[in-house]
Amino acid sequence: MNSEQTKWARRFKWISLIEGISFLLLLFVAMPLKYLFDMPMAVSVVGWAHGVLFILYIYIVFPTASKLKWEFGRTFFALIASILPFGPFIFDRNLKKSQHVKL
């Protein structure tokens, strides 16, 4: 992997992991606060942040796939991972195994 590919891979990794954390916070912290403790503001704040991060994730998937020469299946897996709890973490682990690269 050349330096430009490494840069893209690292950027994608960080955006992916932050987006994954925001999704888990939304599901397991903000939603219970809203529905169990009548605190809808938590969903407003965390939901907004997650929405921005989700859009950024989707926006970065395609140029990353192009730069790293991902096949369709890997790109599709990256897109599906973004909508599943723990999906970005599983995708990151899969990516590390397949590329044998420490990012």
Average pLDDT of span 4-21:
94
Residue 9 and residue 92: Cα distance in Å, rounded?
10
Least confident interval from 4-13, 54-63, 66-75, 94-103: 94-103
User: pTM for the whole thing?
Assistant: 0.88
pLDDT value, residue 100: 60
Q: Examine the pLDDT at 83 and tell me if it is beyond 60.
A: yes
Q: Examine the pLDDT at 20 and tell me if it is beyond 90.
A: yes
Domain ranges of the chain: 3-98
Distances (CA, A) of 10 to 39, 56, 91, 101: 36, 15, 14, 11
pLDDT value, residue 50: 97
Tokens at 19, concatenated: 């987006």
DSSP codes, 2-53: -HHHHHHHHHHHHHHHHHHHHHHHIIIIIHHHHHHH--THHHHHHHHHHHHH
Percentage of the residues of the chain whose pLDDT score is greater than 90: 84
Tokens at 31, concatenated: 């939603």
pLDDT value, residue 56: 97
Label residue 65 by pLDDT band (50, 70, 90).
Answer: very high
H-helix or E-strand spanning residue 60: helix 41-67
End-to-end alpha carbon distance in the chain: 11
